[in-house]
Structure 1
Amino acid sequence: MGSKRSEDTAVTGSGPVVREDMAPAAAGASAAGAAGDYDVIVVGGGMAGAALAIALDGLGLKLALVEASSWHADAHPGYDERTLALSWGSRRIFDGLGVWTAIAAQATPIRQIDISDRGHIGHARLDARDQGTPALGYVAAARTIGAALIGRLERLAHVTLLCPAELEHLSPGAQHCEVTVRVGEQLHSLRARLVVAADGARSRIRTQLGVPTLEWSYGQTAVTANVTPEHDHGNVAYERFTEDGPLALLPMEGGRCALVLTVPDAEVEPVLAMPDAQFQYLVQRRFGLRLGRFVRAGRRSAHPLKLVKAREHRHGRVAFIGNAAHTLHPIAGQGFNLGLRDVAVLAEVIADALAADEDPGSSAVLTRYADWRRWDQRATIGFTDALVRVFANPLPPVRLARNLGLIGFDLLPPVKRLLVRQLMGVAGRQPRLGLGRALAG
């Protein structure tokens, strides 16, 4: 990733087709690479889609990855300035994909997680040493992860990258799906045994297929920024619940912290417009003085919070992964990690199907994917949604119950261990990528 390519590159047979700003003439030149039959077409080149294409490389599949945005770290909307909390399980998946080394250089380990409820005695602390791992997870910029994924993608020999290109229409069929893709001013017809929808929370594929969703708004917005506290964070991540909404601080390099401040929707604009000193005071009031005073705050951005869950993990010959399958509240930092586990499981199901000479887009194969993912998705979505609702409830009996729960959680090692394993993304049956092992090679 990085600097823009000086020319479009078309490599047939031995490498990908990469298009940066594809003019109609260049699109015509790529027709041999773009049109025709594929085994798998992944729609969406964000982190989930890119990771899946990398995972499937080397399995003997003919793959296409369709992405609407320009293929650059500084332009792709999926690889923006956000900071992500990566679970230990996600680190292992990135190991299996061969990209962790590129991410690790700019990732900050989380060695402890401190959970508290402002104004109450309930408190819990999670420690990587209790799990026998060097970290519970890591903090990395989305742009860093994107650079590692795209850098790996551009070296793959059997993935056709169509970018920028937009999905116009998808027609499901018994033996394959017909996909119409717009590249510049030209339309191309593609066909695949399996289509993977990795096209985000507003999935066009999900809408075209009429897949129902469970959806509601929390009436909250996450305001994100980098902040610098007076004292060193010591590689501790903080999750603090307040009457105004949860607040998270994630450790970063240089003594900085990534802040996720939840505010009611009606207060978003005033919070974004605050002078830095006033914003720092707001954060200070809600977080307290555990890290001393906040001495600096970076640029703020806002992200409305809602839950979106597709009621089907697969529909015909289409599988859903990442935000196309579920979009969560950022509390506990589980959304991206859940999507990456979708990738690991779907890749394994496809690999096993190929080894058994099965059609990777068949009902039997995609049902195995759906069945495997159902428990993890339900547990993670249920957990995050319950946290939001329980800690937002001002009723005294609920406050008492949640504080007793935090105290009990910290005093019951078996319960704590089970929950921590879920937060680390290592609970339940693990796919090979989840163990840090590649599927091919």
Structure 2
Amino acid sequence: MKVDVAIAGGGLVGASLALALSSLKLKVVLIEAHPFGSTDQPSFDDRTTALSNGSRRIFQGIGVWPLLEREATPIRRIHVSDQGRFAFARIDAQEQNLQALGFVVINRIMGAALWRRLQEEAVAILAPAKVMSSELKDDGREITCEVGSEATVTVQAKLVIAADGARSIVRESAGIGSTTWDYGQHALVTNVFTQRFHDYVAYERFTPEGPIALLPMSEGRCGLIWTFTPDVAARMTGLADGAFLERLQQAFGFRLGRFTKVGSRQLYPLALTRADEHVAPRLAVVGNAAQALHPIAGQGFNLGLRDAASIAEVLADALAERRGDEEFDAGDGLLLERYREWRSADRQKIVGFTDGLVRLFSQPFGPVKLARNLGMLAFDLMPSAKDALSQLSLGAAGRIPRLARGAKL
């Protein structure tokens, strides 16, 4: 099979990129290890994702948002606090002249919408197919995939996109290493019901045991992400529902009244993984294969989706610049260099911002706690700081992809 672009990994970012490229005159194949439409795809689970306004526009541009809109819960306000301390910070969408600061969607629902759009656009999909190797050739890359128990398929692509997660086989086979910092934390993820309606407020509360994020969801539910050390996380998972809710009540307080019900609890280890490069010869890295972040600031998926929108725009612009019947090379080194330069500033600032928050709010020392609380108070009184933070919905630095601005690719 010969194609212009082969995307390895059909998770949320890889599937989004395949849809973005489906509007271009390119031959694209999406290679996914799980059966098409399968709920076994690890990124299509019951976790929730806070979509930024930029991500909403990207989904609108690739035709996914109309399938999500009814299931998406807007975030109208954000409230940040530190347990046992005096300070808090608030951001209000209305003050920022926004309809919402973001939207909360269940990953499983996003996955189903993406698969449906892939079918509608007749995107070529090779699934289930496990990538075994990726080898650089003179005019492209050759990917060998295992299909079934014995059969193999070879894909020859001008450009390969590594979208196969933090432990990307495709990225590593291209010689791009990665650095991982284990935070020594696990995220406990579940849904809870509360006595009072969440009123579309997202809460971030920092506690001695770890940060608590409560995201507004449909049917009055809240998505809970509570971070602990691994041993405490295991104990919290094993608690009876009543005992767990009592611990949560003590840590979070009564802003939403009493917690009345909790769903099943799942644990996810937390680490920061960064690829050493965004590109290699005839290869680009996107999503978690490029950077996997702590969920404390809710920026990981949004950053990865901007990766996808950016490489799609680089290819779209190059196609538009092509002269006559000139053969198009999607893996040209100049195009990959454009992508690398474009993504570096946004990536560096978002990674630094997220990692800095984790480290700042993990410090147990009194002077550090006092300083961060004074900082929150100052932030709450400074409109300019809130304006700057709200801009994270489009990107931290550098050029903003057209799709994220609501323009056509």
Range of TM-score over shorter length: over 0.9
Taking the aligned partners of 2:398 and 2:275, their CA distance within structure 1 comes to 22
Q: Deviations over 1:165-204 (max 9, x none)?
A: 1111100134211111111121122111100000011111
- Aligned runs of 1:217-366 on 2, under 5 Å? 217-357=182-322, 359-366=329-336
Q: Deviations over 1:280-314 (max 9, x none)?
A: 11111111111111010000000000000001001
- Alignment of 1:373 with 2:343, yes or no, is yes
**In the alignment, which residue of structure 2 is the partner of 1:176?**
140
**In the alignment, which residue of structure 1 is the partner of 2:372?**
402
- Alignment of 1:433 with 2:403, yes or no, is yes
Higher mean Cα deviation, 59-68 or 424-433?
A: 424-433
Shift of 1:76: 2.4
Q: How many residue pairs are counted as aligned between the two chains?
A: 403
Partner SS for 1:402: helix
Which amino acid is 1:194 matched to? L
**In the alignment, which residue of structure 2 is the partner of 1:43?**
8
Shift of 1:72: 2.1
Partner SS for 2:120: coil
Q: Report the aligned-residue RMSD.
A: 1.3
Taking the aligned partners of 1:179 and 1:426, their CA distance within structure 2 comes to 34
Q: Is the 8 A contact 1:345 1:369 kept in 2?
A: yes
Which amino acid is 1:171 matched to? E
Taking the aligned partners of 1:423 and 1:409, their CA distance within structure 2 comes to 18
- Alignment of 1:411 with 2:375, yes or no, is no
Shift of 1:268: 2.1
Q: Deviations over 1:207-237 (max 9, x none)?
A: 2223121211100000000001111100000
Q: Deviations over 1:141-163 (max 9, x none)?
A: 00111111110001224x31111
**In the alignment, which residue of structure 2 is the partner of 1:384?**
354
**In the alignment, which residue of structure 2 is the partner of 1:140?**
105
**In the alignment, which residue of structure 2 is the partner of 1:114?**
79
Q: Is the 8 A contact 2:31 2:125 kept in 1?
A: yes
Which amino acid is 1:80 matched to? D
Taking the aligned partners of 2:386 and 2:74, their CA distance within structure 1 comes to 20
Partner SS for 2:176: coil
- Alignment of 1:189 with 2:159, yes or no, is no
Taking the aligned partners of 1:255 and 1:425, their CA distance within structure 2 comes to 30
Which amino acid is 2:195 matched to? E
Q: Deviations over 1:391-434 (max 9, x none)?
A: 11011111111111111111121122112211454764221111
Taking the aligned partners of 1:305 and 1:407, their CA distance within structure 2 comes to 29
Partner SS for 1:214: strand
- Alignment of 1:203 with 2:173, yes or no, is no
Q: Is the 8 A contact 2:4 2:27 kept in 1?
A: yes
Q: Is the 8 A contact 1:65 1:161 kept in 2?
A: yes
Taking the aligned partners of 1:244 and 1:39, their CA distance within structure 2 comes to 49
> When the two structures are superposed, what TM-score results if normalisation uses the length of structure 2?
0.96
**Structure 1 gap segments, 5+ residues each:** 1-34
> When the two structures are superposed, what TM-score results if normalisation uses the length of structure 1?
0.89
- Alignment of 1:162 with 2:162, yes or no, is no
- Alignment of 1:90 with 2:55, yes or no, is yes
**In the alignment, which residue of structure 2 is the partner of 1:12?**
none
Taking the aligned partners of 1:343 and 1:142, their CA distance within structure 2 comes to 17
Q: Deviations over 1:238-286 (max 9, x none)?
A: 0111111111000011111000000111212211111000111111111
Q: What percent identity do the matched residue pairs reach?
A: 49
Q: Is the 8 A contact 2:54 2:393 kept in 1?
A: no
Shift of 1:74: 2.9
Partner SS for 1:154: helix
Q: Deviations over 1:339-383 (max 9, x none)?
A: 111111110011111122252211110111111111111111101
Taking the aligned partners of 2:113 and 2:75, their CA distance within structure 1 comes to 20
Partner SS for 1:105: helix
Taking the aligned partners of 2:194 and 2:395, their CA distance within structure 1 comes to 29
